[in-house]
């Protein structure tokens, strides 16, 4: 599954692979250690989502006009 929606990967997956831009390589593997059914109100949910967004932000390439 490829996912770009905030939090959806944490909600659905047991393992999340964060990839780099180019070349597309796996930068980090994140294990989602949460019981099912998962709740977005669980503090772990927010922490994992923040970790993923931080990883994605670190790998972003910005262009300047």
Residues 6 or more apart whose CB falls under 8 angstroms from that of 27 comprise 18, 19, 20, 55, 59
Q: Which residue has the higher pLDDT, 46 or 22?
A: 46
- Confidence tier at 64 by pLDDT (50, 70, 90): very low
Nearest 5°: the CA angle 10, 16, 20 is 125
The model's pLDDT over 32-49, given as tens digits with 9 standing for 90+, comes to: 999 999 999 999 999 999
At 63 the pLDDT is: 45
* Helix, coil or strand: residue 31: strand
């Amino acid at each position: 599954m490829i996912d770009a929606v905030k939090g959806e990967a944490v909600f659905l997956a047991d393992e999340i692979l964060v990839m780099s831009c180019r070349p597309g390589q796996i930068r980090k593997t994140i294990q989602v250690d949460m019981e099912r059914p998962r709740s977005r109100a669980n503090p772990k949910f927010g922490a994992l989502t923040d970790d993923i967004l931080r990883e994605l932000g670190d790998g972003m390439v910005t262009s300047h006009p």
